[in-house]
């Protein structure tokens, strides 16, 4: 069965798919978005239930291999020290992300020139800056202007409270003379556009029932659907179809909610399935013209996978830190060690993120994203009584450098419920990252002591958080050279001129910040380029 052709077909209703749909609205083209998941209904947000914490370990786990919902696809992470996490549904991973919203820095786009590592991006900070600003307005970003860590900009809303915990750590940073700043967050500090301001529930990972968090289910999609963009849910794309004569994409084959295989034709196809889902789809789209997967003449589809490896250090203070009050991941951010310093034994750098603590169950089970319960027995009593309420932590978020051996490929055996081959992750921690994490762990400990901690708790080994694969980048990177990249400087595949990619897979480097702000800025930029180049789009 074939549906009516559309002008623009977007695959994925998450951060980037929503942003580019919004950008293309003014063209009056007929836009259709196919999304493998569904809308999350208000009653389904776990934070409205008494047993809300339980959801983290079942149907609302960030890990699709735990959730195992119909719309999820399994991921083989046996050859990786980090497993990807996500959400499949309208809003994508902005449903369960934590809303931390730092921008990448100017140096992130020039690592080859500045530090001799990775590649330079074909775009720079100044080019993206207006799109960062536009997206901040559309999303409702809260923050404090005047951060000396960036070229000047002003978040549209005042900062959310940093709380007692943030104030305590800020004084520690000041004592050491280190950079810190209240975190930019995609979380409302004031009511806006019918969305309720943050109520400091502290369960951002369970979806924000108030709409305070800037998931695209609350920001872009209501506008898009009202404007006539068709959002077809429970529709899982199997492959991108390419005309073997012309080399242009003609549309996709997808499964509907009943598993029936359908065809959707389109003039222009936009892939927005994240750094794992996008290479999976391209690799699954084999044809005579593209035997190794569509748009993969460079052989780089799926290669150069980057995460942000994380480790955490906690301090135990004399007074309660009330860390469960307020958005989970976002209090203050230090970028003191972000840029390359030749005196260190690694290049590039990391951020020190002051998240808040979490709820008792999650803490007892080892912390968010960790499966390593704290001790039982008398030791348990001691930790829950004397550590948990008094704790403030720092997360070391390190920049990952691209390596071709870190990759997404297709698993030979594993499939999703429609029989589509699942992704397999092959990933190891690079030596540079390992050194960076060790440095970060030591510096975080130093800071916590300066802030008044009476005890510092750190793992002191080389392990990283298992469920730290939120940020999936680099697997279809941008570039000017078709032999060294998958898409050009504005997201168009070198090999298929009406096929665009707009998600984190097109990142060239990872920076050391949460990527969603940059993903959406890039999607808006690509939308702008499409509009600007519309007359010669496929030349």
Partner 1 sequence: MSTSETQALLLKVLEEIIPAGGARRMPSAGMKAVADGVLTATAYSNGSPGAVTRLLEAISMKSPDFPILSPDARVDVLKVIEADHPADFTELVRLTYTAYYSRPEIRPLLGVAAHPVHPDGYLVEPESDALMDELTRPVRARGTAYRQV
- Contact indicator for 411, 422 with CB cutoff of 8 Å: yes
Specify the DSSP class assigned to residue 151: S
Q: Are strands 6-11 and 261-271 parallel, antiparallel or unpaired?
A: parallel
Specify the DSSP class assigned to residue 409: E
Span interacting with partner 1, options 86-94, 108-116, 220-228, 509-517, rule CB under 8 A:
108-116
CB of 347 to partner 1, least distance (A): 12
- Looking at residues 372 to 391 of the shown chain, list those that interact with partner 1 (rule: CB under 8 A): 373, 376-378, 380-382, 384-385, 388-389
Question: Does 254 contact partner 1 by CB under 8 A?
Answer: no
- Looking at residues 346 to 375 of the shown chain, list those that interact with partner 1 (rule: CB under 8 A): 359-361, 364-365, 373
- Looking at residues 168 to 197 of the shown chain, list those that interact with partner 1 (rule: CB under 8 A): 170-171, 173-174, 177, 179-182, 189, 196
Question: Does 264 contact partner 1 by CB under 8 A?
Answer: no
CB of 529 to partner 1, least distance (A): 22
Question: Does 201 contact partner 1 by CB under 8 A?
Answer: yes
Question: CA–CA separation, 172 vs 512, rounded Å?
Answer: 22
| Selection from 364, 273, 241, 225 nearest residue 84 by Cα | 273
Which residues in 442-534 belong to E strands, given as ranges?
455-458, 499-501
Count of residues of this chain found to bind partner 1 when the rule CB under 8 A is applied: 79
Tokens read off for 173:
């940073």
- Tokens 């580019």 belong to 20
Question: CA–CA separation, 239 vs 420, rounded Å?
Answer: 9
Please say which residue, 50 or 245, places its beta carbon nearer to partner 1. Answer: 50
Binding residue for partner 1, selected from 118, 160, 242, 310, defined by CB under 8 A: 160
Binding residue for partner 1, selected from 22, 101, 109, 427, defined by CB under 8 A: 109
Binding residue for partner 1, selected from 130, 151, 228, 460, defined by CB under 8 A: 151
Tokens read off for 87:
């959400």
Q: Are strands 31-34 and 6-11 parallel, antiparallel or unpaired?
A: parallel
**Site string (128-147) toward partner 1, x via CB under 8 A:** ----------------x-x-
The pair phi, psi for residue 10, each rounded to 5°, is -105, 130
| Selection from 147, 174, 178, 180 nearest residue 162 by Cα | 180
Please say which residue, 22 or 45, places its beta carbon nearer to partner 1. Answer: 45
- Looking at residues 204 to 223 of the shown chain, list those that interact with partner 1 (rule: CB under 8 A): 209-210
- Looking at residues 55 to 94 of the shown chain, list those that interact with partner 1 (rule: CB under 8 A): 57-58, 66
CB of 224 to partner 1, least distance (A): 25
Question: Does 324 contact partner 1 by CB under 8 A?
Answer: yes
Strand partners, 311: 396
Question: Does 342 contact partner 1 by CB under 8 A?
Answer: no
Please say which residue, 25 or 365, places its beta carbon nearer to partner 1. Answer: 365
Please say which residue, 275 or 323, places its beta carbon nearer to partner 1. Answer: 323
* Distances, alpha carbon 318 to alpha carbons 161, 428, 449, 453, in Å: 21, 39, 12, 7
């Amino acid at each position: 069965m074939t549906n009516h052709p559309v002008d623009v077909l977007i695959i994925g209703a998450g951060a980037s798919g929503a942003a580019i749909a919004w950008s293309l609205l003014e063209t009056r083209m007929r836009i259709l978005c196919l999304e493998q998941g569904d809308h999350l209904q208000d009653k389904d947000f776990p934070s409205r239930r008494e047993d809300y914490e339980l959801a983290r370990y079942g149907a609302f786990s960030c890990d699709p291999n735990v959730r195992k919902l119909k719309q999820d696809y399994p991921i083989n992470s046996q050859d990786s020290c980090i497993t990807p996490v996500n959400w499949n549904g309208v809003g994508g991973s902005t449903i369960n992300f934590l809303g931390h919203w730092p921008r990448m820095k100017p140096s992130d786009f020039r690592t080859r020139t500045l530090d001799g590592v990775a590649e330079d991006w074909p775009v720079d900070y100044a080019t993206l800056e207006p799109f960062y600003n536009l997206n901040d307005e559309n999303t409702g970003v809260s923050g404090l202007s005047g951060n000396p860590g960036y070229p000047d900009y002003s978040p549209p809303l005042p900062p959310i409270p940093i709380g007692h915990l943030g104030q305590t750590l800020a004084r520690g940073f000041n004592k050491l003379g280190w950079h810190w700043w209240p975190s930019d967050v995609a979380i409302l500090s004031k009511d806006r556009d019918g969305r309720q301001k943050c109520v400091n529930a502290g369960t951002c990972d369970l979806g924000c029932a108030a709409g305070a968090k800037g998931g695209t289910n609350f920001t872009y999609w209501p506008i898009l659907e009202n404007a006539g963009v068709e959002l077809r849910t429970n529709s899982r794309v199997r492959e991108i179809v390419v005309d073997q004569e012309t080399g242009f994409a003609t549309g996709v084959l997808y499964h509907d909610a009943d598993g029936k295989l359908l065809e959707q034709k389109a003039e222009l196809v936009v892939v927005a399935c994240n750094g794992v889902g996008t290479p999976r789809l391209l690799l699954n789209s084999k044809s005579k013209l593209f035997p190794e997967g569509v748009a993969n003449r460079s052989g780089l589809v799926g290669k150069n996978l980057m995460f942000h490896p994380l480790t955490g250090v906690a301090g135990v203070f004399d007074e309660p830190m009330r860390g469960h009050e307020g958005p989970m991941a976002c209090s203050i951010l230090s970028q003191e060690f972000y840029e390359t310093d030749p005196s260190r034994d690694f290049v590039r750098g990391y951020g020190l993120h002051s998240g808040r603590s979490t709820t008792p169950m999650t803490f007892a089970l080892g912390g968010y994203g960790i499966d390593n319960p704290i001790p039982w027995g008398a030791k348990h009593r001691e930790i829950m009584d004397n550590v948990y309420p008094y704790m403030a932590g720092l997360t070391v978020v390190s920049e990952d450098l691209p390596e071709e051996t870190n990759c997404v490929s297709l698993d030979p055996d594993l499939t999703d419920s429609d029989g589509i081959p699942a992704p397999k992750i092959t990933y190891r921690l690079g030596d540079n990252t390992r050194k960076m994490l060790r440095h970060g762990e030591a510096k975080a400990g130093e800071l916590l002591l300066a802030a008044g901690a009476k005890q510092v708790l750190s793992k002191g080994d080389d392990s990283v958080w298992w469920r730290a694969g939120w940020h999936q980048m680099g697997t279809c990177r941008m570039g000017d050279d078709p032999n060294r990249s998958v898409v050009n400087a504005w997201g168009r595949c070198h090999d298929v001129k009406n096929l665009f990619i707009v998600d984190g897979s097109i990142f060239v480097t990872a920076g050391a910040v949460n990527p969603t702000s940059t993903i959406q800025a890039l999607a808006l930029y690509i939308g702008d380029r499409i509009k600007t180049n519309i007359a010669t789009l496929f030349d």
